[in-house]
């Protein structure tokens, strides 16, 4: 099964795109924006991602790849589309998401949806690892994979990824089964393509607040910008 992993990685490495060390969005790590953090004025986007619930599965029993924090009754909804090989996505998950959950979700101001958006190559393989054991494991796997990103996203991924997943209780047999599940990987790609079209996704992390793309301003705290945008939307 190492050959399967190396096969998926080949395109990524050959292109010199170890995305942990590069920007996921064009270089500044701020979500592609070059203006204010206000929601973009042009083009209304969907306000939610189809999510039948945190314990829902697709037709293979795999997790849907969507984590939902907060109440459906919250006045604002923030969607974050993240990819596994995006270093900025990992940093956003580790540093910004906890602040959002504590100050905006817990206070009832916001519902947060974190979406696994994997469309090609190595991202899809890692997504299949995170999803294949079902929704009860997906949250733990996402936390583990993003917090250990610098360990496994390198030339030794074939050796490091099984070790990382073992920390969350995934056996080697389960690991091999997950990375060989091409039908699941095909479903992941097809879903990402639909989301790209519906939400006009061009980079990650990609943020949508109340149906509008939320662009970050370079050089400022991402959380503070999100908080300001939520407060402005609520006023």
Work out the number of other CB atoms within 10 angstroms of the CB of residue 160.
Answer: 15
pLDDT at 138: 93
Work out the number of other CB atoms within 10 angstroms of the CB of residue 13.
Answer: 15
Q: Taking 50 as the threshold, does the pLDDT of residue 16 lie above it?
A: no
Q: Taking 70 as the threshold, does the pLDDT of residue 140 lie above it?
A: yes
C-alpha separations of 27 from 24, 32, 36, 96, 223 in Å: 7, 8, 17, 19, 19
All structural domains of the chain, each given as residue ranges with its CATH number in brackets, are 2-33+65-234 (3.40.30.10)
C-beta separation of 200 from 215 below 8 A: no
List pLDDT tens digits, range 188-227: 999 999 999 999 999 999 999 999 999 999 999 999 999 9
What pTM was estimated for this model as a whole?
0.82
C-beta separation of 82 from 142 below 8 A: no
């Amino acid at each position: 099964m190492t050959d399967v992993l190396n096969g998926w990685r080949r395109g990524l490495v050959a292109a010199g795109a170890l995305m942990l060390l590069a920007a996921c969005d064009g270089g500044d790590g701020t979500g592609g924006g070059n203006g204010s953090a206000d929601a973009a004025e042009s083009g209304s986007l969907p306000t939610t991602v189809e999510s039948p619930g945190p314990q829902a599965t697709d037709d293979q029993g795999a997790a849907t790849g969507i984590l939902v924090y907060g109440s459906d009754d919250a006045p604002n909804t923030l969607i974050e589309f993240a990819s596994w090989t995006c270093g900025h996505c990992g940093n956003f998950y580790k540093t910004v998401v906890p602040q959002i959950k504590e100050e905006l979700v817990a206070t009832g101001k916001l519902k947060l949806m974190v979406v696994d958006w994997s469309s090609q190559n190595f991202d899809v393989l890692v997504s299949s690892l995170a999803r294949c054991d079902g929704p009860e494991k997906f949250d733990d796997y996402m936390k583990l994979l993003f917090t250990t990103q610098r360990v496994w996203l390198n030339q030794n991924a074939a050796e490091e990824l099984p070790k990382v997943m073992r920390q969350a209780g995934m056996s080697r047999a389960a690991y091999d089964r997950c990375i060989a599940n091409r039908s699941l990987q095909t479903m992941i790609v097809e879903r990402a393509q639909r989301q790209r079209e519906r939400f006009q996704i061009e980079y990650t992390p990609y943020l949508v607040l109340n149906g509008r793309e939320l662009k970050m301003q370079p050089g400022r705290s991402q959380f503070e910008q999100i908080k300001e945008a939520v407060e402005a939307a609520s006023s």
